[in-house]
Amino acid sequence: MSKKVLVTGGAGYIGSHTVVELQEKNYDVVIVDNLSNSSIDSLDGIQAITGIRPAFEKFDLCDRERVYSFFKKNIDIAAVIHFAASKAVGESVENPLKYYRNNLVSLMNILENMEKFHISNLVFSSSCTVYGQAKELPVTENTPILPASSPYGNTKQVSEEIIRDTMDASDFNRAISLRYFNPIGAHPTALIGELPLGVPDNLVPFITQTGIGIRDKLRVFGDDYNTPDGSAIRDYLHVVDLAKAHVVAIERLLTDKNKANFEVFNLGTGNGVSVFEMIRSFEKVSGVKLNYEVAKRRPGDIEQIWADTTLANNELGWKTKSSLDEAVRTAWQWEKHYRSLNP
């Protein structure tokens, strides 16, 4: 009998790609999502790719009673992957209370009910923002945690502390926190991809929307950073590679391969890519000349960060497979496919 996995935020960008990978490994998936920054249409894409439409419930995970009633009728859940969170760095600077309430209360509601219904296994969607502006690069899992550059990053730091304390207080709970860097790209079928509601906060969807004419121009936030070309540097990994890591993490927990009740792993390529390098990659794979301008730095952004992925490579047996150009190409294919259906 296939094991049931709850995927919170499973209609979203990373969540939907992870649901595909889980279903292709014969897991029984149930999604909870309030659709605040995602679309129910992603379920159509998941079904078209896998032949299976995952179970879905729409509600807000900050609703404590609703979360309890959900877990009460789904006591056969074997593991939880928790994606659901507000995730825009800039917005978190402008509206910090939204981020603290949404990201922390939802997590506490989930952990409370996992304890209540004896569900042991949690994979948490964390972020490289937990490191703040690291003093040494690349960052390892042992890199000191510095003050977060944004309320969003701080919610990820606090969430990890909440999970660690909860795991330490229980004999049977265990969790893996996946600290990922910058996911980009889309499923190779172009049936699901990144579709932010409103103006994109992330670089690649803004690039592809500019390339296709939805946006007039891309703004490059800062060209005066202490980097080779002056633009900010990030570690961009293909979302399908990232999704596969969640399946590996779930299997590690379900087969008792974890070496501690709370483990953390960096997920990235191990390579830093600047904003200008990303623009050049898009222009190369698309054949489209991108209209962009340089703007002042954005509050909450860090200068540069990329991952040391040795631990994930060795312990999880996971590493990225797609190149930057391949990831950007799938993002562009998704953008064109989506706009052809939604002109």
Catalytic residues, by residue number, are 152
Helix, strand, coil percent content, the chain, rounded in steps of 5:
40, 15, 40
Calpha distance 9→32 (Å, rounded) = 6
Calpha distance 245→237 (Å, rounded) = 12
Angle between helices 41-50 and 13-24 (to 10 degrees): 30
With contact defined as beta carbons under 8 Å apart, do 272 and 137 qualify? yes
H-helix or E-strand spanning residue 236: strand 236-238
H-helix or E-strand spanning residue 67: helix 64-73
With contact defined as beta carbons under 8 Å apart, do 28 and 4 qualify? yes
Whether omega for the bond prior to residue 138 falls within 30 degrees of 0, making it cis, is yes
β strands within 115-196, DSSP E: 121-127, 174-180, 182-184
CA distances from 215 to 202, 207, 219, 312, 327 (A): 14, 9, 10, 37, 21
Neighbours of 137 (CB within 10 A): 15
Q: Is 181 exposed, middle or buried (0-12, 13-18, 19+ CB in 10 A)?
A: buried
Instruction: Find the angle CA(332)-CA(336)-CA(341) to the nearest 5 degrees.
Output: 150
